[in-house]
Amino acid sequence: MTGQGQIDLLLKDLAIITMDPQRTFIKKGSIAIDNGVIIDLGADLDYQAKKTISVEQGVALPGLINGHMHGTLSRGICEDLKLMDWLEKICFPLDAQYTPEIIEVAEELNQLEMIMSGTTTFVDIYRHMHAAARVLERSGLRGFLTPQVIDVPKGVGETYEGNVQLYHDWHGKGNGRVNIWMGIHAPYSALPETYIKAKEFAENHGIGIHTHLCETRDEVEQCRREYNKTPVQYLHSLGVLGGKFLAAHCVHLTEADMEILAESGVTAVYNPISNMKLASGVAPVVKMRDRGIRVVLGTDSNLSNNNIDMLKEMQVAGALQKLAHMDASVLKSEEILEMATILPAQALGIDQEVGSIEKGKKADIIILDFDRPHLWPYMCNDRINNLIAHIIYSASGADVHSTIVDGKVLMENREVKTLDRKRIYEQAQEMLERLCRGAGLV
């Protein structure tokens, strides 16, 4: 096939895992990209391109989507505490110290890590999101920014009014890469009227709501004491479930809760590493999926994980469910890859644009370099194809060679083009010291 003129970008001679509805796999082929859009893909493409990327042992797949993270900075300090001690003595005092200047650096560090580990779209719930939006505009990633609105205790989070302002200032900027949703921290930290107002605003503006839900047993018990309802029943009684609604964690659910989530069309975000590290529990992922609840994958913050590497998260996502069920056949590799690509694209309402490699979709693509001993040997014939198993159980973010969003190359051969790595490290160090001094931790 011969294209006319010169296209912007050709990704050449790669194995391609498309994640299209037929789950087409191309053993060796190319992807033609022009004006940010995939215009062709397949074997034997013949295009003249302004830029070509060819990786000898390269495997292309849709850019990964992180369904839940926080743009925090204080990774790895004050570890090994009980969850409530950690939250009350460390997290909230630190959260209160964040300024837009600190968030700008924290976001740069987080977005740099995501570019370098193959995430192309992320959902971020945290503070001073105007600063995050500025970073997102220049990093080249696709993001859903949701301010962490907290009513109780005061001063450690964002406000509903600030969330509305952020939407008006930023939604749709960066060629549609900057998206603003309503971010309400959790039923135990936000007032009922805040959820109700957020639901109304989201509906009127065609956006969604992101929140934490049923992460720990304690919060479920507290909600039962206060309202005589589980958190799911409580939010349901407020009328806020439904539409685009992304609920992080969903670890402690009753059968009746799952029925409500399924009927309302709520998407649950499974954060296996954070749930293990904070000893929160095991999300009933298989049960939720069997009931028709869409489950997607997230990393949670770099405090509770401690990285935001979706490849590593996919490995633990599978391993934890297998252990919890004492059944190695649950949650197949391809299902886990769906939870990091096409399913979150559906949850965010962008599956017509991204989430798979298909003609007419935006070019959000990553290339893994299989020139690594831990990714060999592999077979990809008609009967046996272990590439996806390698991606889920053997690969890590360090194996990502190139990251492309909207047809723009953000990283090639591990060189990031949009953010300055060394400067970010230096400033992150300085800001962490400032944060800890402010919170009285040093």
- Region near Zn ion per CB under 5 A, out of 30-38, 136-144, 294-302, 400-408: 294-302
Helix 100-116 and helix 129-139: axis angle, to 10°? Answer: 40
CB of 352 vs Zn ion, minimal distance in Å: 28
CB of 259 vs Zn ion, minimal distance in Å: 25
CB of 211 vs Zn ion, minimal distance in Å: 10
Cβ proximity to Zn ion, 9 vs 213, nearer residue:
213
How far is the CA of 285 from the CAs of 162, 208, 282, 336, 404, in angstroms?
34, 22, 8, 11, 30
What contacts 201, CB < 8 A, 6 or more positions away?
163, 164, 167, 182, 207
Give the contact letters, 251-290, x = binds to Zn ion (CB under 5 A), - = no: ----------------------------------------
The token pair that represents 12 in the structure block: 């050449």
Collapsing DSSP states into helix, strand and coil, what is residue 313? helix
What whole-number distance in Å separates Cα of residue 253 and Cα of residue 274?
17
CB of 271 vs Zn ion, minimal distance in Å: 7
Cβ proximity to Zn ion, 266 vs 411, nearer residue:
266
- Strands in 100-159 per DSSP E: 119-126, 142-147
- Region near Zn ion per CB under 5 A, out of 234-242, 296-304, 396-404, 432-440: 296-304
Q: Pairing between strand 25-34 and 2-17? A: antiparallel
The token pair that represents 408 in the structure block: 């723009």
Give exposure, 8-24, as e/b (b: 16+ Cβ within 10 Å). bbbbbbbbbbbbbeeeb
CB of 215 vs Zn ion, minimal distance in Å: 7
CB of 185 vs Zn ion, minimal distance in Å: 9
Interacting positions 299-318 with Zn ion (CB under 5 A): 300
CB of 95 vs Zn ion, minimal distance in Å: 12
- Region near Zn ion per CB under 5 A, out of 134-142, 169-177, 297-305, 321-329: 297-305
- Region near Zn ion per CB under 5 A, out of 55-63, 83-91, 189-197, 292-300: 292-300
Give the contact letters, 318-357, x = binds to Zn ion (CB under 5 A), - = no: ----------------------------------------
- Region near Zn ion per CB under 5 A, out of 193-201, 279-287, 293-301, 379-387: 293-301
- Region near Zn ion per CB under 5 A, out of 12-20, 219-227, 295-303, 359-367: 295-303
Cβ proximity to Zn ion, 61 vs 250, nearer residue:
250
Give the angle subtended at the CA of 326 by the CAs of 324 and 329, to the nearest 5°. Answer: 105
Q: Identify any residues that bridge with 142 across adjacent strands, giving them in sequence order.
A: 121
- In 3D space, the residue among 19, 3, 126 whose CA is nearest the CA of residue 65 turns out to be 19
Q: Which residue is nearest to Zn ion (CB)?
A: 300
- Tell me how far the alpha carbon of residue 413 is from its chain's centroid: 23
Which stretches of the chain bind Zn ion, using CB under 5 A? 300
